[in-house]
Amino acid sequence: MISEAEKKLLVRGTQINYYFVCKTKLWLFSHHIQMEQESDAVELGKLIHDDTYKREEKGLILDDLISADFMRKGKVLEVHEVKKSNKMEEAHLFQLLYYLYYLKNEKGIEKIRGFIDYPKLRKRKEIRLTHDIEKRLEKILQDIDSIIKGDVPQPQRKKICRNCAYLEFCWS
Ligand code: SF4
Query: What digits encode the pLDDT tens for the residues 113-145?
Result: 888 888 888 888 898 899 999 999 999 999 999
User: Which residues line ligand 1 at a C-beta cut-off of 6 Å?
Assistant: 22, 24-25, 155-156, 158, 160-161, 164, 166-167, 170
Distance in angstroms (rounded) separating the CA atoms of residues 15 and 25: 9
Ligand 1 atom showing the smallest separation from residue 164 Cα: 6
Is 10 exposed, middle or buried (CB count within 10 Å of its CB: 0-12, 13-18, 19+)?
middle
- Which of 85, 82, 83, 84 is CA-nearest to residue 71? 82
**CB-based contact 117:149 (threshold 8 Å):** no
Report the CATH number of the 11-161 domain: 3.90.320.10
pLDDT tens, residue by residue, 12-54? 888 999 999 999 999 999 987 766 554 544 554 454 445 444 4
Tell me the pTM: 0.77
Partner residues linked to 125 by β-bridges: 116
Dihedral sign (CA 16, 140, 76, 4): negative
Instruction: Tell me the pLDDT band of 73, cut-offs 50, 70 and 90.
Output: low
Instruction: Please choose from 14, 18, 25 the residue to mutate so as to test ligand 1's pocket, defined by most ligand atoms within 8 A of CB.
Output: 25
Three-state SS letters, 39-79: CHHHHHHHHHHHHHCCCCCECCCECCCECCCEEECCCCEEE
Ligand 1 atom showing the smallest separation from residue 160 Cα: 7
**CB-based contact 26:34 (threshold 8 Å):** no
**CB-based contact 17:92 (threshold 8 Å):** yes
Instruction: Tell me the pLDDT band of 59, cut-offs 50, 70 and 90.
Output: very low
Residue 75 Cα to ligand 1 middle (Å): 41
Which residue has the CA at smallest separation from atom 5 of ligand 1? 25
Amino acid making up residue 49: H
Portion of the chain with pLDDT greater than 70, in percent: 70
